[in-house]
Chains A and B, each alone.
Chain A
Amino acid sequence: MSARRLEAGELELGGGLEVLLAAALEGMPPGARLEVHTPSRSTALELGSWARVAGHASVGERIVPGGPYAVEIERGPFARVLAGPLPARRSGPPLRDGELHTADLRPGANVPEAAQAASGFTPLGAVAERGAPAFRWTLNERDALWADDVAELAEQASAAQWDASRDIPWEAARGLPDFIERAVSQVMTFIAQNEYAALYVPAGFLADVNPAYPEMLMWLASHVHDEARHVEVFTKRSLIGGQPSHALASTELSLHTLLDERDFSGAALLLNVLGEGTFLDLLRFVEHHAPDAATRAAATLAHRDEVRHVHFGISHVRRRIAADPGQAAMLIAAAERRAAKLTQMSGLSPLLTEGLTVMAAGSLQPAELARGAGDVRTLMQTMEDNRLKRLRAAGFDHRDAQHLSDLHTPNLM
């Protein structure tokens, strides 16, 4: 067999020659020979040991005074990477007006039904080397996680990032009358408290998701990031006016039960569809009745994020029930289990109802207060109506939707 020839030129070992050598030898079958020519006696003297350390053999050399020098290397039998050969190069994913969208990364939207629990961090398209340590992921099945538009939702989440320090006109929140500030601060504290739970729930699942579903990871990470910003913005709003409020025990009780749900779809129903869904109406109410531009902007921006979260929940639950109608009963059971733990809750905390009423009234005058109370009653009705619509959209029939809505926590989330 004739040897391939490689001209090392001025390249030396440790200075780039090994890159050329590896590339040349990688493409050759075991036993094939490479004749390396170098003007450097030093390099020629070192090539043999380089070859042996790299798993090849040095089978001949010409090292004569004054040069030129040559060393013949026989490719060794070992694969550098313990994996099959890489697939041939193919055309990459399509672009949309120059943009590379997450939804376009898998040809034919081909998402595997299940992934190995032990598999590692293998990026999409990569070939995993054998011998890596085994992981123990627990969320390894597509249908238990997936929403058909999860990649698009993750895409939107990236595009819609905002900054709670700079994107809110904070100056506008200063100097409100005490009674208004007390009301706003209580509502903001309540929302921030709930946003904590909205962060911890997806965060609790995130690290269990098999890395074979990167779209899910991107989605959940964006969800967690969104909620961190919501905690931030509503905490900042409650602090900016200088008026502390209570973090209510009844709210804690409700949120505690939300974190108890360890089934992903059950949590998607309770948090995304029911909890965050109901919060959409609450945030609209705050946006509409905010006494200052900072509060309004916080509600507007948070609402924009929550729309995505609710959309995911509906999309996931609908897909889950469509694939397995028996899931509807499992999901209802999850809501019933939670409701059973919340029997001691009688209704929305009076502190919150009063805060919302004062925000809507903008005054402590009886006529305005009566109007504000009416607005809060309307809000409760709107929440109920929209909850039913979302549950129907998620695939529940009318009776089940009504049952689930009735079971929903008086705490709203």
Chain B
Amino acid sequence: MSRADAEVRVGAVAYHPRIVTIWETFLEHFEREGVTTDYILFSNYERLVAAVLAGDVEIGWNTNTAFVALERQLGEPARILGMRDLDARFATLIVTRRGEAFEDARGLAGRRLALASRDSGHGAILPLHYLAEQGLDAASECELVRFDTDLGKHGDTGDSELRVIRAVAEGSADAGALGESTLAAFRADRVPAVSELEVAWRSPTYYHCNFTALPSLQDAVAERWRQALLAMSYDDERMRQAMDLEGVKQWLGGDRAGYESLAVAMGAR
């Protein structure tokens, strides 16, 4: 069967060439599970959201920012079909040079705060939101040093976060925000710039990516696709490499509980 006849089309953003490897492998899994699926790649989340809303794809593999934007344009709750284990417990960290950490958000007042791309939920939007909740209006009380690289990819490339930690390490910023899994990856890869940085602050947890569909997607199709996703196993040698590339060890059904803060933050933006 040609993939052009697939039952479900998934849209994803091609933030790295590995996305092709990931989805070519995932499609084999969905085929084995009896839900023929194809993928369509977009260069930015704005186009992906538009494609989901227009019905050009049944499912979008969205960042939290894209999901909130989609729901806002839709005007009603969308359907969440799944997320990675990591997505269900995400947090943003603020790092400083060693010895310059602060224990309270107010400790950042008057300092230069580096932020990742302005459309990144974890790298820019949510740290500002949570700092505000804790009594610091960073936009007015800090000097913001923004690294708006790869706009449209919502921070997926990690490029702006790398610039953030370099800015802090080199002294052109006093503190910098990045996703906690990004820092874990930098530590694991022994990225030199992070060796002299320490974590000063950690945000409350929130949700990150999810597979989003419109409410109009047939329940039976949505459920079969979700079950196929959940059946993907990290212990399956055919899938492990692709799951590692996607940063997932276990897929979860997902829910809406962890998007409230971002919805508020984006409403206020």
Question: Which A residue's beta carbon lies closest to that of B190?
Answer: A14
**A264 within 8 Å of B by Cβ?**
no
Flag the segment in A74-82, A315-323, A396-404 that touches B: A74-82
Determine how close the nearest CB of chain B comes to the CB of A55; give it in whole angstroms: 5
Q: A53-B181, A78-B234 are in contact. Are A41 and B195 (CB under 8 A)?
A: no
Asked whether, in the complex, the Cβ of B103 is within 8 Å of the Cβ of A49, the reply is no
Which B residues between 120 and 146 are near A, CB-CB below 8 angstroms? none
Q: Bound complex: CA of A13 vs CA of B187, how far in Å?
A: 7
Contact residues of B between 224 and 265, Cβ < 8 Å to A: 234-235, 237-238, 240-241, 247, 249
Q: How far is the CA of A45 from the CA of B199 in the complex (A)?
A: 7
Given contacts A49-B91, A131-B238, A131-B241, contact A55 B184 (CB under 8 A): no
Is B217 an interface residue when CB atoms closer than 8 A count as contact?
no
Residues of A within 8 A of B247 (CB): 53
Q: A39-63 toward B: CB 8 Å interface, digit per residue (1/0)?
A: 0111001101110110100000000
Q: Given the complex of chains A and B, what is the CA–CA distance between A40 and B240 in angstroms?
A: 34
Q: Which of B180, B195, B198, B201 contacts A49 (CB 8 A)?
A: B180
| Interface residue from A50, A78, A82, A130 paired with B184 (Cβ < 8 Å) | A50
Within the complex, which residue of A13, A49, A76 is in contact with B181, where a contact is CB–CB below 8 Å? A49
B86 CB contacts on chain A under 8 angstroms: 52-53
B237: which A residues are within 8 A, CB to CB?
82, 129-131
Asked if A78 contacts B235 (CB within 8 A), the reply is yes
- Smallest beta-carbon distance B205→chain A, Å: 9
B234 contacts across to A, CB distance below 8 A: 55, 78
Sampled A-B contacts (8; CB under 8 Å): A46-B93, A46-B180, A46-B184, A48-B180, A49-B181, A55-B234, A82-B240, A129-B237
Contacts of B186 in A (CB 8 A): 14
Q: Is residue A263 contacting chain B, with contact meaning CB distance below 8 A?
A: no
* Smallest Cβ-Cβ distance to B95: which chain A residue: A42
In the complex, whether A65 has a CB less than 8 A from a CB of chain B is yes
Establish whether residues A82 and B91, one from each chain, have CB atoms under 8 Å apart when the complex forms. no
Interface presence of B85 (CB below 8 A)? yes
Q: Number of contacting residues on A, CB 8 A?
A: 23
Chain B stretch 160-203: residues in CB contact (< 8 A) with chain A: 180-181, 183-188, 190, 194-195, 198-202
Measuring CB to CB, which residues of chain A are less than 8 angstroms from any residue of chain B?
13-15, 18, 40-42, 45-46, 48-50, 52-53, 55, 65, 76, 78-79, 82, 129-131
Within 8 Å by CB of B188, from A14, A42, A82, lies: A14
8 A Cβ contacts from B5-46 to A:
none
Q: In the docked arrangement, what's the CA distance between A15 and B197, Å?
A: 12
Q: Which residues of A contact B238 (CB under 8 A)?
A: 131
The reply to whether B240 and A76 contact each other, CB–CB distance below 8 Å, is: no
Residues of A within 8 A of B93 (CB): 45-46
Of all A-B residue pairs in the complex, the 9 with the closest CB atoms, nearest first, are: A131-B237, A14-B187, A42-B198, A49-B180, A130-B237, A42-B199, A45-B199, A55-B249, A53-B184
How far in angstroms is the closest Cβ of chain A from B186? 8
The closest CB in chain A to the CB of B186 belongs to A14
Tell me if B69 is interfacial: C-beta within 8 Å of chain A. Answer: no
CA distance in complex: A78, B180 (Å): 21
Known: A82-B240, A131-B238. A14 touches B194 (CB 8 A): yes
**In the complex, A373→B185 CA distance in Å?**
78
Q: Does B101 reach chain A (CB closer than 8 Å)?
A: yes
Q: How far is the CB of B183 from chain A (nearest CB, A)?
A: 7
Smallest CB separation, A28 vs chain B (Å): 17
Give the residues in chain A near B190, CB-CB below 8 Å.
Answer: 14
Q: Quick one: closest A residue to B180, CB to CB? A: A49
Residues B195 and A76 in contact, CB atoms below 8 Å apart? no
The answer to whether B101 touches A49 (Cβ under 8 A) is no
Flag whether B89 is at the interface (Cβ < 8 A). Answer: yes
The smallest C-beta distance from B105 to any residue of chain A, in angstroms, reads 14
